[in-house]
Structure 1
């Protein structure tokens, strides 16, 4: 696959990890590099505080949990999801560009905006996938090989109902000691969401053999399929970009 690293202007750590993975694939020495691969899903209970499935207008959820390539890729395979867009939340419009966000100084987090049908999937179920499959909520300002505040674990709620469900779920998971460490996921009001550049959209769908995707993100899709078979759909929805 002909992919230019300069085109994606990735942070140095993402470039280095991708190059290391590429070398390992060529040489066959994939052992040490596999430390960068996605971790196994953590089996967690469903949220006890949730909304029932109801017919109504499509709703929005916004989550951040590391590189948005993988988070978008996971939620594009969740039944009831109609659209997933990669973008930036937590900062202002003027600095919502990849090169600037990648400095970690803009306040943004790489995020995904999920449009979903509440008659098919609940906000609580999306949160369960978010905590179980897409990221490690105990990692502060990093995920896997990516480090910086732009890779933080963050829930951006659109209304009080989402806020209450998210707060209650984190309290539930903390009480149950669902993870080996403390959950550091932030819960903040959604003030704005800025779609990322077009070349970031549906990156996993368009580049399934890109080394970073193979080792960090494709395992997350398999985890979704195994852990949440009723929520998994093999037909992914695209962002439309």
Structure 2
């Protein structure tokens, strides 16, 4: 099931969320929206770079929450919601939501590898940003456009990602197998402006409250040394 959306994006509330609200009213209690974040070790193999800027692309369900997590990490210069895995011709929300474009909702992260490494970003991605054991869905959002994927921009990123996934599998860090795809990077296409900085601009939106704000709190709790209270924003970066 893709996100249901009216003409105005703030009205976008998945049916599963409506069901959850009904359950809350019936029981008087609020169950945790997210599975507990996983405490996992950093990768043994990591990049070593003296460059001031590097780009990586992550896909882990709805890009609102994934973008929000990366925007709160020290060393990240920008995090843009968008689409990767398909062509430019189909890189728009309505088309991607059909689930037949090859695109995944993704986040392009520009970071300073001298401050935060690709491996450290992967650790947060697997631990906090999404659940890498869910095949073609995250929480209420279903379809290949919500798959767990890494689009390797460099050969070294692919080596680090492949090695880390294998390492986590051998250690049994997760109760189920990791299904994250590591794919070559073919292009990234920024999403519509109303999707950018959505978590920060709409902190009381029911979808954000229920699905994504717990991710920010998990980042702050599990990675206090990497957490930045004031997120780096797309609109600010554009100005």
Same fold (TM over 0.5): yes
Match of 1:176 in 2: 171
Question: How many pairs are equivalent?
Answer: 232
Match of 2:91 in 1: 96
Match of 2:142 in 1: 147
Please tell me whether residue 106 in structure 1 is matched to residue 105 in structure 2.
Answer: no
Q: Which runs of 5+ in 2 are unaligned?
A: none
- TM-score, normalised to structure 2, is 0.91
Q: CA RMSD in A?
A: 2.0
Aligned partners of 1:43 and 1:107: how far apart in 2?
31
Q: Is the Cα contact below 8 Å between 2:83 and 2:188 reproduced in 1?
A: yes
Q: Decide which of 14, 37, 40 is 2:36's aligned counterpart.
A: 40
Q: Is the Cα contact below 8 Å between 2:10 and 2:205 reproduced in 1?
A: no
**CA apart distance, 1:29:** 4.9
Aligned partners of 2:88 and 2:53: how far apart in 1?
25
- SS at structure 2 position matched to 1:229: coil
- TM-score, normalised to structure 1, is 0.90
Aligned partners of 1:105 and 1:147: how far apart in 2?
13
The 3 A distance-change label for structure 1 pair 138 and 124 is same
Match of 2:8 in 1: 7
Please tell me whether residue 158 in structure 1 is matched to residue 153 in structure 2.
Answer: yes
**CA apart distance, 1:23:** 5.6
**CA apart distance, 1:145:** 0.7
Please tell me whether residue 16 in structure 1 is matched to residue 29 in structure 2.
Answer: no
Q: Which runs of 5+ in 1 are unaligned?
A: none
